[in-house]
Structure 1
Amino acid sequence: MLRCSGLRKAFGATQALAGVDLAVEAGQVLALVGENGAGKSTLIKVLTGAHACDAGTMLLAGRPYAPTGPVDARNLGVAVVYQELTICRHLTVAENIVLGACPQRFGVIDRQRRDAMASAALAQLGIDLPLVARCGSLSVAQQQLVEIARALATTAEPNAEPASASPAPPAPSPRLQAPRLLILDEPTSSLTAADVGRLLAVIRRVAAAGAAVVFISHALEECREIAEQVCVLRDGASVLRGNLAEIDDAAMIRAMVGRSVDDLYPRPPRAAGSVALRCVQVAGEVLPRDASLEVRHGEVVGLYGLVGSGRTELLRVLFGLDRAVAGQVELEPKTEHPVVAASPITTPSPQTRLAQGMALLSEDRKAEGLCLGRSLADNLLLTRPGPACWNGSSWLPWLPTAARRIANGWIARFAIKARHGDQAVQELSGGNQQKVALARILHHGARILLLDEPTRGVDVAAKAAIYQVIGEQAAAGKAVVVVSSYLPELLGICDRIAVMRRGVLGAARPVAAWQPADLLAEALG
């Protein structure tokens, strides 16, 4: 279905693609893997017409393929779900799903057919979302499901002609067609295990209908579950291709990073100390409904649950982004036994929480975690600019040289693929943006770290580095709370895990007391 040979693309002196060869047949799933910055996002943009390649050839269904833009690619049967969400937050679920292909009747939006198309796309995914809900009110995981539904709902017929051809009249009832080529960039990064299972089932159905699927993921076990072939990118070139069943994980990782990753879940020695954070019967305006938890210095506590269970909302309430309506939150409590306040609690502002030594890594780095148009240095020093204003003897306005020096230190520590500290964050790959967001809260020097999906969109080697940093922070006496939908991650790095179900947080138990099936059963209730 798709064959690419010798694809090259440069941006100035940066060679983003340096010779990519890949092939995926109709009805087949190809796993495309590689480090952050390996060229996967650039390749997607070339395949979808957002960028024109400088050299190389592409064939789609045996015919030369050179889309003039994303609309042309979509009309030729190519659908894509990007890692970075492209949801219109002010539009409804139905409006987002049919965006760009909204059915009309006599020049007016046909709302009945629009809603039917949206419902059919959601039904294929096996999810139930209110069509009239504003997407800005949904969780990141729910927004990602809406993106996938859009790819299924707005793709042209498999025998579609280029965009210049006259469109066929609309069918009297919605009938979703499998795209010729479906590209999924980290589609499971914000999904729970149950949602991942449903999505993989959808991908199998799409492939069975004759589509070729390019599945991009850092979760190698998901690649093995869904894909038959694999293509590994490193430094913009395809360095390993073949039958996935014949290539082990170690070989793929070596091809991705040029070395082996011996210990994916490092655990530096640490011991739990005094209570750093205590919340008792905390409730938000909607979620959570009842959350009680103690986190001690020197430990990592994980929070697991289904999408919409209230994990993210709990972190937002603790940090002051959302209002608490009941319960008690204490930092560095002086008493051993909690006391619930008789009156509604006052929610401190995020600025107060930062000053108290608490920091939050948002699951939505694009909307909340980073200033994308600003430089790495600006983002890293955003909440603690002081080190860039001290010349050794007096306080001065912003010192660019000092800011660059600090930024370059974090770039080296996290192996961020960037030219320098003055580069705009929006120019980085999604995984490297995530490293910048994490480095920012570590630079702040907080004692209590709230990490919401800290390895979302991050490659295997970078995950191991982030796990090492989390372990080092706990070993240094900091209290760490990790929200994650990836069970191996929680079981690998946490000391205790608690499960959130329908807004109610269960008791945190030692990690040795949990099995993956137990966690999932607890979350499902």
Structure 2
Amino acid sequence: MNNHTILEMRSITKEFPGVKALSDVSLEVQAGEIHAICGENGAGKSTLMKVLSGLYPHGDYTGQIFFQGKEVQFKDIRSSEAAGIVIIHQELALIPELSIAENIFLGNEPTRFGVIDWDYVNRTTLELMARVGLSEDPITKVKDIGVGKQQLVEIAKALNKSVKLLILDEPTAALNESDSQHLLDLMSGLRSKGISCIMISHKLNEIEQIADSITIIRDGKSIETLHVKNDGVDEDRIIRGMVGRSLESRFPEHTPKIGETFFEVRNWTVGHPTVSDRLVCKNSSFHVRRGEIVGFAGLMGAGRTELARSVFGRSYGNFKSGQIFINGKEVTLRSVPQAISAGLAYVTEDRKSLGLNLLDDIKSTTVSADLKKITRGLVVDKDEEFRVAEEYRKSLRTKTPSVNEGVAKLSGGNQQKVVLSKWMFTDPELLILDEPTRGIDVGAKYEIYGIIQKLADQGKGVIVISSELPELLGLSDRIYTIFEGAITGEVTRDDANQESLMKLMTASRKSA
């Protein structure tokens, strides 16, 4: 490995009104290494990368940045890219309606005699795609390929800009296991060609597998840099640095108090919203008891979210047949308002586009699912709105200077707490949580697990959909498995392990 420093950030301090996001942070990255940045949500990781990439321009922060031995003062993202620093954000910056080739060359189009040279564009796109392991046609629209392949298009785009330092913010958060592994292998390949990578991730097992060095940031300060091979780094060591203490257990201690069945779905069948002959839920039956946390396990695309959303007021797909019983009585829930009135709440996996209005502040978001509760006459009681939001901010320990802040300014973990507040305010009997801890650090996960357990202890039923089997095993009292839209098994906490669940998640009921 080429062992000289490619990047040094010295004493970076960045303030926003009422909050110091970064305080005297320093970071050093060697040429040709993969350098991970770890920290809890809101620790300042993404802010530091926005400083580096010029999204927060020079003059907007204090401190110095040295790249390839020279001090740099980036005024915008174009100037950092011109130097060879490319950032790939968690929310990919691709245009769905354009082709792969058009996306790769967007803003950087080669011309001949004043006209775009499409032969060169398509030829070069094929070469770049081969480098990242993509075999699509360059004219394929980006919206027609999966998220894993879209990530690879972003990396191909970076390679087209002669990248020297590639920054990946939560690159595998939305990917399944095989796509994640392909991306990690690709990063290893870039390292062997001398390209340095900075990776922000909450998946500690991936960091342990691939990183050469890890810098830990806590509360806006750089705490330490660990060298993975020399320092014998494992997940527990990273967690200790991130949260300032060791988490003996990833899950709070909990003794369930399970009552009688109060929610039941029978023979639920739902068609795909646009493909008329395809079923997304096939004759599925399940039940939830009071005080019980029920897990739903399945591989990406198995139909877990489709089942949950279709039960929640038929908000997904074309309903074919099936029954819902609440407290032994059949109910028909044809819309989301009807589902909310019946005591259901659904926390979506896509908090940014389906769970939150990013233009709203925290207080109006908190009360938005049940406005009638704080309406006097036809007017929202602003004092009550503030009081309710403040109560949830304190009880869920949401990190924010004020509930008047916009939700867009919050870290992922704190946004998730606001979404939880919104649905807890409706006082549901059944809370459905779809990937409740996706993109959230271990400290915030622990807090959210505690919130879920408290809700169950109040006699509510909780459904947890998660792609992380250890999470389902640590949290659930009972787990259903789903494969190709059908429920293939039901396993109690005592009988469940990763192998038994995986077997049921990859086989239809006939072969299970």
Tell me, yes or no, whether TM beats 0.5.
yes
What secondary structure is seen at the aligned counterpart in 2 of 1:322? coil
Q: Is the 8 A contact 2:31 2:196 kept in 1?
A: yes
Cα offset for 1:60?
A: 2.0
What amino acid is the match of 2:448? Answer: I
Q: Does 1:227 align with 2:211?
A: yes
**Deviation digits for residues 335-369 of structure 1 (CA, Å, limit 9, x no counterpart):** 7xx9xxxxxx9871212211111121111111111
Structure 1 CA distance for aligned equivalents of residues 505 and 123 of structure 2: 31
1:519 to 1:108, Cα distance in 2 relative to 1, 3 A: farther
1:346 to 1:471, Cα distance in 2 relative to 1, 3 A: closer
What residue in structure 2 maps to residue 369 of structure 1? 355
Aligned positions, number: 490
Q: Does 1:258 align with 2:244?
A: yes
Q: Does 1:146 align with 2:120?
A: no
Give 1:110-129 correspondences, 5 Å limit. none
What amino acid is the match of 2:190? Answer: V
What residue in structure 1 maps to residue 167 of structure 2? 183
What residue in structure 1 maps to residue 488 of structure 2? 506
Structure 2 CA distance for aligned equivalents of residues 265 and 448 of structure 1: 21
Structure 1 CA distance for aligned equivalents of residues 359 and 266 of structure 2: 36
What residue in structure 2 maps to residue 398 of structure 1? 380
Cα offset for 1:241?
A: 1.4
Q: Is the 8 A contact 1:125 1:198 kept in 2?
A: no
What amino acid is the match of 2:188? Answer: R
Q: Does 1:472 align with 2:454?
A: yes
Bigger relative contact order, structure 1 or 2 (CA pairs below 8 A, ≥6 apart): 1
1:522 to 1:153, Cα distance in 2 relative to 1, 3 A: farther
Q: Is the 8 A contact 2:151 2:171 kept in 1?
A: no
Structure 2 CA distance for aligned equivalents of residues 117 and 315 of structure 1: 43
1:505 to 1:79, Cα distance in 2 relative to 1, 3 A: farther
What residue in structure 1 maps to residue 53 of structure 2? 48
Structure 2 CA distance for aligned equivalents of residues 477 and 132 of structure 1: 54
Give 1:21-170 correspondences, 5 Å limit. 21-53=26-58, 54-91=61-98, 95-96=102-103, 98-101=105-108, 107-109=114-116, 142-143=146-147, 145-156=149-160, 158=162
Compute the RMSD of aligned alpha carbons.
3.0
State which drifts further: 53-62 or 223-232: 53-62
**Deviation digits for residues 21-57 of structure 1 (CA, Å, limit 9, x no counterpart):** 1112122111211121111111111111100252222
TM-score by length of 1: 0.84
Q: Does 1:415 align with 2:397?
A: yes
Q: Is the 8 A contact 1:121 1:150 kept in 2?
A: no
Q: Is the 8 A contact 1:193 1:485 kept in 2?
A: no
Structure 2 CA distance for aligned equivalents of residues 101 and 478 of structure 1: 55
Match of 2:324 among 330, 336, 339: 330
Q: Does 1:305 align with 2:287?
A: no
What amino acid is the match of 2:357? Answer: C
1:268 to 1:371, Cα distance in 2 relative to 1, 3 A: farther
Structure 2 CA distance for aligned equivalents of residues 460 and 119 of structure 1: 40
What amino acid is the match of 1:302? Answer: G
1:366 to 1:88, Cα distance in 2 relative to 1, 3 A: farther
Match of 1:295 among 274, 279, 287: 287
1:384 to 1:492, Cα distance in 2 relative to 1, 3 A: same
What residue in structure 2 maps to residue 9 of structure 1? 14
Cα offset for 1:2?
A: 1.6
Structure 1 CA distance for aligned equivalents of residues 480 and 239 of structure 2: 31
Cα offset for 1:399?
A: 2.1
What amino acid is the match of 2:293? Answer: V
Identity of aligned residues (%): 32
Cα offset for 1:465?
A: 0.8
Consecutive unaligned residues of structure 2, counting only runs of 5 or more, are: 1-5, 273-277, 508-512
1:37 to 1:500, Cα distance in 2 relative to 1, 3 A: same
What residue in structure 1 maps to residue 510 of structure 2? none
Which structure is higher in strand share? 2
